[in-house]
Structure 1
Amino acid sequence: MSEISIANQTWQWHGQSINYQRAGTTGPALVLIHGFGASLGHWRKNIPALAEHHRVFALDLLGFGQSAKPAPGEPLPYDFDTWGAQVVDFVREIVGEPAFLVGNSIGGVVALQAAVLAPEQSRGVVLVDCALRQICDRKLHTQPPMRRLGRPALKKLLQNRALVHWLFHQIARPGRIRAVLRTAYGNPGAVTDELIELLLEPAREPGAADVFWAFINNFDGPLPEDLLPQLTCPALILWGTADPWEPIALGRDLASFPAVEAFIPLEGAGHCPQDEIPEVVNGHLEDWVARQGVAAIAPCHSPAA
């Protein structure tokens, strides 16, 4: 498939500049939401293909990519309430119609949060290796004893802004990023120089280290299992079988919620299947969204007496 250049656009939200892209002119609207430390560029292999039959939108969450990176709390905290509200307003103001929300990693939690905040604006939610947020304090009882005992010390350490800034700058180097991604990707060949630069460019911007500091100190907030029971639209879950960060064995537990129509394992893929095996992910998205359209126009049948 030939590369299609899609220009970045800017949307003002709470006085902050938000970067986004749009492609496609017909079909259902899809909103693609990236994970932690990533940006809309993580969907670069999906947008052109999906745009053939859909109106596709991708945005950089506040604090990431080419979106603004204000100091934490000035004016908004970096948490799921903020990002969920950002997606709700984006769908209302930019998309202009109810959309399918597609999120990878923490983007999955953001998609769920947005769908719960404004159910009338979500036609469906697709979770791609959704973040299970195992660092959350409410999940501490599931962790090994040493990790539970060390949590108070860890939290105190991470509150040290200068130390976390130093850690961030140690991580935000090409060699380190490459090593981290090679552990997260089931397909090491997908870890390209282009991908490394895509992730590093926003990390060089002023404010990026503070975003990192603020987020890793978030030991509270919603879990997928909090939000899925509140979902009023259907959900699809895609999960890489080789994901080392969010193991599929734990991810399968999310399939038990009534809103989840299907849980599809993606053989050999790691934490970011949309970048590793884009054709497979695109195919599942297209098929599922098409089925939702058929279901929406299918005639109703009265239940048997």
Structure 2
Amino acid sequence: MRVNYLARGQGPPVLLVHGFGASVAHWRRNIGVLSESYTVYAIDLVGFGASDKPPGFSYTMETWAELILDFLKEVVKRPTVLVGNSVGSLACVIAASESNRDVVRGLVLLNCAGGMNNKAIVDDWRIKLVLPLLWLIDFLLNQRPIASALFNRDILLSVYGNKDAVDDELVEIIRGSADTEGALDAFVSTVTGPPGPSPIALMPRLADVPVLVLWGDRDPPSPPSTGPWGSSSPSCRRSSPT
């Protein structure tokens, strides 16, 4: 499968991994600054952005983690700090848990998702109450006309806590990704598929990897109080030895 990516700058390598419904372009305000000191790579996960969206493909967290490791091996070829957002963070955690410091030398997790979708947080009493509703949503989303009606830029724009960030450029980025062939199928597969492993369960495997966890206190889809780290503080959750 073809995978779209960007490479810019000189210095120690950093790989940026976007979240749900996003792409390389969503890092547009970070890449320029980071590339002043680092070699910055940004990747479109399969199913998003300009990367392939194979018909009938079943998207999983493990598949995206495998993609990250393959990218590090075939393109970067140096120990790399992974920076992920939302489900991109979880993909980075899985990738790091299956590698070593010669491949992943650090993690920065921004609003790390507890799973590929909210069904992962079944221990949260609020999720347990609405679990039957989530099953119903799964059924409805698998009906293509219903999914098509829901899959629009207004839904994606609603996840931005800072409305000033929703400029014309961002609207075009989201619209362009959503209109590509296979984007709807990727969306449905992601929100109805298996949630994948919990990042907390994987943390013991990362004892030797420096980890920085940050959370925005105005994250609409996954506020700090419902995140996998179990704290309402928006500041750093965990840091292992540097």
Please tell me the TM-score bracket, short chain as reference. 0.7 to 0.9
Counterpart of 1:65 in structure 2 is: 49
Match status 1:199 vs 2:174: yes
Secondary structure of the structure 2 residue equivalent to 1:124 = strand
Q: 1:136 to 1:18 in 2, by over 3 A?
A: same
Q: 1:45 to 1:115 in 2, by over 3 A?
A: same
Moved more, 135-144 or 81-90: 135-144
- Rounded to whole Å, the distance in 2 between the matches of 1:146 and 1:254 is 18
Write the letter of the residue equivalent to 1:139: V
| Deviation of the 1:18 alpha carbon | 0.6
Counterpart of 2:68 in structure 1 is: 87
Across the two proteins, how many residue pairs are aligned to each other?
234
Deviations 1:151-190, CA, capped at 9 Å, x for gaps: 44344334xx3x2x3344324445x24xx52x43232111
Contact 2:13 2:79 in 1 (8 A): yes
Larger relative contact order (CA 8 Å, sep ≥ 6): 2
Match status 1:34 vs 2:45: no
| Deviation of the 1:79 alpha carbon | 0.7
Q: 1:248 to 1:170 in 2, by over 3 A?
A: same
Deviations 1:230-288, CA, capped at 9 Å, x for gaps: 21311001111111211112448368xxxxxx817xxxxxxxxxxxxxxxxxxxxxxx9
Answer 1 or 2: which has greater strand percent: 1
- Rounded to whole Å, the distance in 2 between the matches of 1:48 and 1:152 is 42
TM-score (norm 2): 0.86
Answer 1 or 2: which has greater helix percent: 1
| Deviation of the 1:144 alpha carbon | 5.4
Counterpart of 2:211 in structure 1 is: 235
Secondary structure of the structure 1 residue equivalent to 2:202 = helix
Aligned to 2:27, which of 43, 52, 61?
A: 43
TM-score (norm 1): 0.70
Aligned to 2:3, which of 5, 18, 21?
A: 18
Q: 1:191 to 1:157 in 2, by over 3 A?
A: same
- Rounded to whole Å, the distance in 1 between the matches of 2:59 and 2:212 is 26
Point out where structure 2 has 5 or more consecutive residues left out of the alignment: none
Moved more, 239-248 or 132-141: 132-141
Q: 1:254 to 1:143 in 2, by over 3 A?
A: closer
Point out where structure 1 has 5 or more consecutive residues left out of the alignment: 1-15, 256-261, 265-287, 296-305
Radius of gyration: which is bigger?
1
Aligned to 1:189, which of 159, 164, 180?
A: 164
Counterpart of 1:300 in structure 2 is: none
Secondary structure of the structure 1 residue equivalent to 2:114 = coil
- Rounded to whole Å, the distance in 1 between the matches of 2:121 and 2:167 is 37
Contact 2:54 2:182 in 1 (8 A): yes
Counterpart of 1:263 in structure 2 is: 236
**Percentage of matched positions with identical amino acids:** 36
